[in-house]
Amino acid sequence: MKFPTTRRGALLSMVAGAAVMLALPALAQDVTITFWGSYGNGGNSTQQDALNNTLIPAFEAAHPGIKVQYVDVPYDSLLQKLTTSAAGGELPDLVRADLGWVPQFAKLGVLVPLSDAMADFQELADKTYPGVLATNLYKGKYYGLPLDTNTRVLVTSQEALDAAGLSAPPATFDELKASAGKLKEAGISVFADGGLGAWNIMPWIWSGGGDITDPELTKSTGYLDSAQNVATIQMLVDLYNAGQIPNLIIGNQGATGTSDGLPSAEYANIFDGPWMAGIWKDQYPDFTPIYASVPAGPGGSVSVVGGEDIVVTASSPNQEAALEFVRFTQSELFQVEMVKTGQMTVLPAYAEQQNAIAPFYATFAEQLKTAKNRLAISSASKVDGILNTELTAAFKGEVSVQDALTKAAGQIDALLAEENS
């Protein structure tokens, strides 16, 4: 591949510096590594163009003899394609994997543990956000490095605040509860969300000072059903019962979605990610969201990590070359170029450059300093189902919050036992 003529000079100067940083012993010549991902994501070409027209040419210029063949697969199809290919032993060299997939494929034994394979792994790992790095950890080894990231923050409607005579988004649990009554008088829900899975509920649990399991991921009983978690979930249930959180949270498909309910001031606050800025810009051009940290409870302000990781497959015949590309993804050139396309950097060192590109990223970058990963187990999707089912019963008043959490913890214990067997 060649650089577009108008960008060649600037890119070659950056590549020259990158080549020095990334230089390792000479690799075999004329190697082609395959890389699967969903940068195009069903037709959105901005990220894929950056990869194909800027980043891959830069890598190839710095690494003569290595070519990168990128294959774009729609996100909704990628997991199935990977699963089928793993069974048939036909995986690519590299995969841009959703962070929730890493434990699944690590358990199958089809990924290279990078913490074993890369002498400089710890040096690279130490530069990333801790919660983002943790998405690659499975049974004591790291099977990837963070590629891009995101998190959920509090997003607030100024119109809703004005209608209720409030001056700012709630910074704490107590401020959230105090604002609920005033908002209800104005016909506005204090908070809305679209479910009770880990992506939805863990920011509340962590900020409330609780957790879902012990640090070793061996048991949930005694953790998920702790006094801290009972108090946190009870706060949400009480707001729900008072009509201050809509039944969207328990799966009512007829309720107004958060992406529409916040701009219309039907909802005052939601949790959401950086991708909403572009959606609202197109759909609600007059709406200016307010971004703030997740309300702090006894555990501080803690949110949940999202994003993708880059992994190397164990069947790759070109692992040394693939590892060189992994290193390249951690470079300033790669990370900042992808920020320009709407990705968030996984490296705090580039947060200021990111914020200069899009100032609203600053709140997300700050939240990432404390954000945590969901359970790094192969059956994490089952945990979501358990939480949704058992907590919905508590919100409906069918069981107590304590009983719901105890029942959920018991089911998660069984998953952990199977995981660790």
Dihedral angle of Cα 85, 89, 90, 95, to the nearest 10 degrees: 70
Tokens of 401: 């919050």
| Distance separating alpha carbons of residues 59 and 67, to the nearest angstrom | 9
The pLDDT value recorded for residue 14 is 42
| Distance separating alpha carbons of residues 14 and 10, to the nearest angstrom | 7
* Torsions phi, psi for 304 (to 5 deg): -115, 145
Contact between 265 and 163 under an 8 Å Cβ cutoff? The reply is yes
Helix H or strand E encompassing 204: helix 198-207
The pLDDT value recorded for residue 11 is 38
Compute mean pLDDT per 10 residues along the chain, 421 residues long, and list them: 37 40 51 94 79 97 96 89 87 94 93 98 98 95 97 98 97 98 97 97 98 96 98 98 97 93 98 94 95 98 97 96 98 97 95 95 97 93 96 98 98 95 83
Closest residue by Cα to residue 109 from 132, 139, 79 = 139
The pLDDT value recorded for residue 226 is 98
Give the number of residues written for the chain: 421
The pTM of the whole model exceeds 0.75: yes
| Distance separating alpha carbons of residues 17 and 310, to the nearest angstrom | 23
| Distance separating alpha carbons of residues 325 and 47, to the nearest angstrom | 17
| Residue 42, Cβ density class (10 Å: 0-12 exposed, 13-18 middle, ≥19 buried) | exposed
Instruction: Give alpha helix (H) positions in 227-331.
Output: 227-241, 258-261, 276-283, 319-329
- What are the structural domains of the chain? 5-150+306-368 (3.40.190.10), 153-303+379-419 (3.40.190.10)
